[in-house]
Structure formats: C-alpha cells, structure tokens
Amino acid sequence: MELRIATCRPLPEPDPDEAPLLADLARNGVRARMAGWNDAREDWDAPVPTLVRSTWDYLHHADAYLAWIERAARAAPLWNPAPVLRWNVHKFYLRELAQQGFAVVPTAFLERGSRTRLGELCAQHGWDDVVVKPAISAASFGTARVRRADLARGEAHLAGLLHERDALVQRYAPAVETSGERCLVWIAGELTHAVRKNPRFAEGVESVTLVPEIAADERALALGLLERFGSELLYARIDLVRDERGRPCLMELELLEPSLFLVQHPPARERLVRALCERLA
C-alpha cells in the first residue's frame, strides 16, 4: 500500500507528528512518504492516495493551493476530501456555522478593501479587547491581540490586512488565560483526546498540555458540528473556548491541516494509522 503525505517545501516549522506517523505506517505495511504540495517534481496526477497534513504555507498561495486540491483529488483519494478542504480554507465558514445556530466566538467578518475602522467596530459591539486575523491564515500568521489602549497599532494592523485580504475581528476571550483554549481531536468517527493550548499570536511559541477528560458540553458542541459532514471526514480539530457565561464557543473548526497532537496521545496516532490502512485496502 502506498500513501503520500502532503506537506510543504520548505516547512515553516517542524511537525512533531511526522516521524512517528511515518514509522507507524511502515510497521503496518504502508509505503508512506512526505510530498510537498508545491514541489514541481511531484506528479500529482499519479493515482496515489494523499493524506493532507503539514501544508502550512497555503495561506500565501491560496489560489494555487485550491488548484492543487482539485488536481490531487482527480487523481486519487484525498483525505480530508476536496469539498471539505475547499470550504475550510477561508475562515468565513465561521459565519455560516453561526448562522446555523452554533455557538461561535463573536466575530466581525470584513472583506478585502473594506475601510472599516477598528475603533468604530469595537464601539459598535462593545468590545474592549479583540483579536485581528486574516481570513486565510495558519500558525497565527498576521494574528494580533488589540486592547483599547493600543488602538492605533490595531488600526494600522487591520488596515494592512484589508489592503490585501479578507479579515476577521473577534472578541478576545479571557478564558484562554484560565481554562484555556481547548483543542478537541476527532479521528475516524471518534473524539480521541484534547489538549489545552496557550494563546498564540504572530511570532509566538505554541505550548500544549494534554487534557485528562473532554467535558460533556464540549463534546456535544464538537459532535454537533461534525454531524454536518457525515462520514466524509478522516480527521478534525475543534478549537473551543468558554465565554463569560461558561459556555463553550467555537474558535476554529480545523479540517485542513491542523496539528493533531499525536505525540501527546499515541492511541490517536494508532487509530489514524488503522483508519488509513482500511481506506488504502
């Protein structure tokens, strides 16, 4: 059985899950190798199934990346599947989920070229502390926290983003500093584990710790979100934070290339390998 694991060249930061995943696949008879989605030497028309993992530079080449998704999916199975990946590239999907009634962190969605002033937006919503980020982003690229006292910097940051791309402004959730941002990992039909992740902004360093148990209300929100995809998904990461009433709210639904924190929970890696072997067979 042969498998390509899509990454990017060069990789902007190491992927801790890469080596143990390749080793586990090899032990299960899968000839897996890393392949850059943007590597001109790769024949993406070859009929080799592809697992999308560390394609972390896609935000800088969104149109080319979307074209690559279609090309790879025409040649062989792609996991997650192309329609899911296309939908998840642009974070305006959060607006769709909020409109469907899911609890989402309060967010303003701003289109490229908008002349929206951050101060006016915050005053309109009663926000004193916000996070400004691009609508197509990874690894906290272009993401900045802005407090009222630092509004001038925030205005400049938002204007710079909107000059080139769509953007989001989200109310900052203080719970990320207490209960933390909770990242729930779902693999092949099951929530396998969760980690607590510290707030990360541009140029920041990420640290994670394994959560002993997924709370019932977190589980309910995560499974409700994933129901809309049926059996299409191989993996997902659901990033949640609690609001001022203690209710879990969605920060991001990561279906494209999220870290799955497999090093922190090896049984999840084993489950992913089993699911891949079944699909390849």
pLDDT tens for each residue of 30-64:
999 999 999 999 999 999 999 999 999 999 999 99
Instruction: At 258, give phi and psi (nearest 5°).
Output: -75, 150
Domains of the chain (ranges plus CATH)?
2-89 (3.40.50.20), 93-101+175-261 (3.30.470.20), 107-172 (3.30.1490.20)
Neighbours of 91 (CB within 10 A): 20
- Residues 11-29: tens digit of each pLDDT: 988 999 999 999 999 999 9
Q: What percent of the chain has pLDDT over 70?
A: 97
Closest alpha carbon to 192 in 250, 247, 270: 270
**Banded model confidence at residue 200, pLDDT cuts 50, 70, 90:** low
Q: What percent of the chain has pLDDT over 90?
A: 89
Helices 82-89 + 62-75 axis angle, to 10:
170
Average pLDDT over residues 155-172: 96
Q: How much is the pLDDT for 204? A: 56
Kindly report the pTM of this predicted structure. 0.94
E strands within 160-258? 167-171, 181-187, 190-197, 208-210, 235-242, 248-254
Using the predicted structure, report yes or no on whether residue 203 has a pLDDT greater than 70. no
- Rounded CA gap, 135 and 59, in Å? 9
- Residues 235-273: tens digit of each pLDDT: 999 999 999 999 999 999 999 999 999 999 999 999 999
Residue 93 burial class via C-beta count within 10 angstroms: exposed 0-12, middle 13-18, buried 19 and up: middle
Give the N- to C-terminal CA distance of the chain in Å, as an integer: 7
- Residues 79-116: tens digit of each pLDDT: 999 999 999 999 999 999 999 999 999 999 999 999 99
Closest alpha carbon to 237 in 135, 113, 84, 69: 84
